[in-house]
């Protein structure tokens, strides 16, 4: 991808989205909303219908999946779909429950939206996930820079560039943790994964070394460490980054569409 070219609506159009919900009114609402924003929309009212659609080609680029369905549990379906097809999933439910949020993230969901929802917010989240597919679908290997939330990570020289274009040094452990979180973007990274990568040993459930490293990273990249927006904690499981990422050999910051600028 060449920077200087906006990642705009035309890059998101023709993306296929499968909406799974047994509420016909909700299904119609979501289909109309997404079609108005240029997406191709498939619908299913059950997991059995979902299976039939996934057995066909081409596969959808994204699935919006209701938690409660007449023939099964959306969380179980989320795990099965992400394992078999590697399709990103947005969970949609009327159950605003932290445990279910954690489970859905742990089993592969990349976003979680609670009904009733704001239409603009839902569309923005869908575009965010699809945009992530677009940029990471390109060849991100051997690229020098990682752009995220108006920050830049120089992979070669292992330092950060803040939104004011000031270089910020990273310790070896900070760099390793940050790259692990970026590579696992929208997926939970456990303390054990970080401990294994950084210290070459398993997490013992007591050691706070990982928390110290995360704390140092947050002081460098978060506006408010008390309410982090880039590196989020999923209590009992680990950490997750929920940001748009672009890999490039160009240090110049990419130009997103106007409504997606930070």
- Name which of 223, 221, 241 is nearest 231 in CA terms: 241
Quote the pLDDT of residue 76.
82
Could you tell me which residues are beta bridge partners of residue 34? none
**160 CB contacts (<8 Å, ≥6 apart)?**
151, 152, 153, 154, 167, 168, 169, 170, 220, 221
Quote the pLDDT of residue 210.
94
DSSP 1-21: --TTS-B-HHHHTT-EEEEE-
- Nearest 5°: CA angle at 135, between 157 and 8? 125
125: tokens are: 């989240």
Q: Which ranges of the chain does DSSP label H, i.e. alpha helix? A: 9-12, 24-36, 47-54, 74-85, 98-106, 119-137, 172-183, 191-199, 209-221
What is the Cα–Cα distance from 245 to 108, expressed in whole angstroms?
18
What is the Cα–Cα distance from 233 to 240, expressed in whole angstroms?
6
Q: Cα 153 vs. chain centroid, distance in angstroms?
A: 18
Strands across the sheet containing 89-93 = 40-44, 16-20, 62-66, 89-93, 109-114
> Distance of CA 199 to CAs 68, 154, 184, 238, Å?
41, 23, 19, 16
Helix (H, G, I), strand (E, B) or coil at 168: strand
What is the Cα–Cα distance from 238 to 210, expressed in whole angstroms?
10
Helix (H, G, I), strand (E, B) or coil at 51: helix
Per-residue pLDDT of the chain (262 residues; tens, 9 = 90+): 222 223 334 445 568 999 999 999 999 999 999 999 989 999 999 999 999 999 886 889 899 999 889 998 888 888 788 777 778 888 888 776 665 665 555 566 667 788 888 888 888 888 877 776 655 544 444 578 899 988 999 988 889 999 999 999 999 999 999 998 988 888 888 899 899 888 888 888 888 999 999 999 999 999 999 999 999 998 888 999 888 888 888 888 876 433 344 3
What is the Cα–Cα distance from 22 to 26, expressed in whole angstroms?
8
What is the Cα–Cα distance from 261 to 11, expressed in whole angstroms?
16
- All domains in the chain, ordered by first residue: 9-137 (3.40.50.2300), 145-260 (1.10.10.10)
Q: Cα 230 vs. chain centroid, distance in angstroms?
A: 11
How many residues can be counted in the chain?
262
Tokens 């990422």 appear where?
245
Quote the pLDDT of residue 199.
86
Helix (H) or strand (E) holding 180: helix 172-183
User: What is the DSSP-derived secondary structure letter of residue 31?
Assistant: H
């Amino acid at each position: 991808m060449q920077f200087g070219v906006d990642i705009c609506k035309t890059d998101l159009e023709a993306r296929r989205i499968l909406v799974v919900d047994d509420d016909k009114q909700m299904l119609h609402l979501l289909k109309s909303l997404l079609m108005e924003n240029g997406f191709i929309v498939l619908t299913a009212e059950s997991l059995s219908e979902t299976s039939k659609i996934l057995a066909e080609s081409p596969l959808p680029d994204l699935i919006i999946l209701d938690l409660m369905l007449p023939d099964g549990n959306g969380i179980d379906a989320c795990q099965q779909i992400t394992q078999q097809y590697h399709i990103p999933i947005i969970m949609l439910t009327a159950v605003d429950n932290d445990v279910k949020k954690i489970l859905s993230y742990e089993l592969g969901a990349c976003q979680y939206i609670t009904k009733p929802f704001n239409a603009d917010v839902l569309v923005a989240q869908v575009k965010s996930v699809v945009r992530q597919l677009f940029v990471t679908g390109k060849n991100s290997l051997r690229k020098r820079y990682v752009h995220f939330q108006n920050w830049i990570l120089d992979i070669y020289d292992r330092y950060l560039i803040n939104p004011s274009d000031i270089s910020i040094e990273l310790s070896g452990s900070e760099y390793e943790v940050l790259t692990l979180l970026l590579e696992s973007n929208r997926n939970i990274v456990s303390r054990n994964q970080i401990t294994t990568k950084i210290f070459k040993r398993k997490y013992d459930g007591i050691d706070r070394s990982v928390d110290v490293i995360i704390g140092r990273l947050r002081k460098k990249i978060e506006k408010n460490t008390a309410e982090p927006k880039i590196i989020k904690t999923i209590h009992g499981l680990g950490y997750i980054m929920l940001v748009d990422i672009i890999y490039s050999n160009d240090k110049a910051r990419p130009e997103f569409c106007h409504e997606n600028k930070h």
